[in-house]
Amino acid sequence: MPLHHPKHRHHHNEDVLPYHRSDDEAKPRRPYVPSSFPSSPASAAPPHRFLLLFAVVCLLLAVASLSFAVSVSRRPVPLQSPPDSVAFRCGRAEDSLRSFLASSGNYSAGDREKVLAVVGVHTELGSAARRAALRATWFPPNPEGVVSLEHGFGLSFRFVIARTKDKEKMADLQKEVDMYHDFLFIDADEGKKPPEKMLAYFKAAYDMFHAEFYVKADDTIYLRPDRLAALLAKDRLHHRTYIGCMKKGPVVSDPNMKWYESSYGLLGNEYFMHASGSLYALSSEVVGAIATTNNDRLVVYLFLSRPVE
């Protein structure tokens, strides 16, 4: 067999391989960059530590909150004292009904109560029989009835009365107040003239109630609350409104008669047309102007010059 020289075998291998080792040695080599492998357990340790620390903090907060809740629940609850009697006043004026409702916990105090109208039935200390007759007919006989009419028709009814320095009379009146709670005491004494009482009534009613109308009625008037509410609820073009009866009649010149007019010689045989004072209603704009005026004498003069007392 022919023998080949080792050198010849070496050249043969170089011819068979597609490249030569010297070619790899001649190529430029790039710097070695380690491959990115999943982080080792040692590198994952810090996040686990943060989670463990966060869990411990949350546990401590929960334990502290639970301890606080338990300590608060074990504290003795102080007994609440009964509500004090709340008086709704405007100067010396006072609404006995709202004072009674507030003291019994059935009423929350507010600035001005909103109603369609306040109906003030003017009465005197010695007119208990008249008030009893009205309560037996159309006037609500108890606080629940007054509140029911207020919610049903928007009318708030009160007996309007002045105070007196006579302790015996005031004691009798207080018994009636404690029984019915339907009085509105005005900031005026019993001996004041009717125009001054009217001014005191409108001031007190305007400060205590936010009403569209303020009604004045005598205790000799018998009303239909439903008809009155329907009349006052009608739309009107003018906001400064007077609703009432106009009247005129003969001047009484006989001194022996009840309605004797001492100045009959100046008036003639018949009174001029004027507003009746037994029952009338004034809108809130009119009453607001009367109640907020700084000249009470002028208002009293206007009432005196027109018999609407």
Question: Which tens digits make up the pLDDT trace of 226-261?
Answer: 999 999 999 888 889 999 998 888 999 999 998 898
* pTM, two decimal places: 0.66
Which CATH number covers residue 152? 3.90.550
Q: How many CB atoms lie within 10 A of CB 228?
A: 21
Query: In this predicted model, what pLDDT tens digit does every residue of 113-171 receive, in sequence order?
Result: 899 999 999 999 999 999 999 999 999 999 999 999 999 999 999 999 999 999 999 99
Is the pLDDT at 38 greater than 60? The verdict is no
What separation in angstroms does the CA of 105 have from each of 84, 98, 99, 148? 10, 10, 10, 17
pLDDT band at 58 (very low <50, low <70, confident <90, very high): confident
Q: What pairing do the DSSP bridges indicate for beta strands 242-247 and 274-283?
A: antiparallel
Residue 255 lies in a domain: no
pLDDT of residue 120: 97
Helix, strand or coil, per DSSP, at residue 307: coil
Domain count, the chain: 1
pLDDT of residue 55: 79
Residue predicted with more confidence, 123 or 190: 123
Residue 220 lies in a domain: yes
Is the pLDDT at 37 greater than 50? The verdict is no
Q: Whose CA is closest to 95, among 149, 152, 160?
A: 160
Residue 211 lies in a domain: yes
Residue 281 lies in a domain: yes
Gap between the Cα atoms of 153 and 226, Å rounded: 7
Q: Which domain holds residue 111?
A: 88-247+275-305
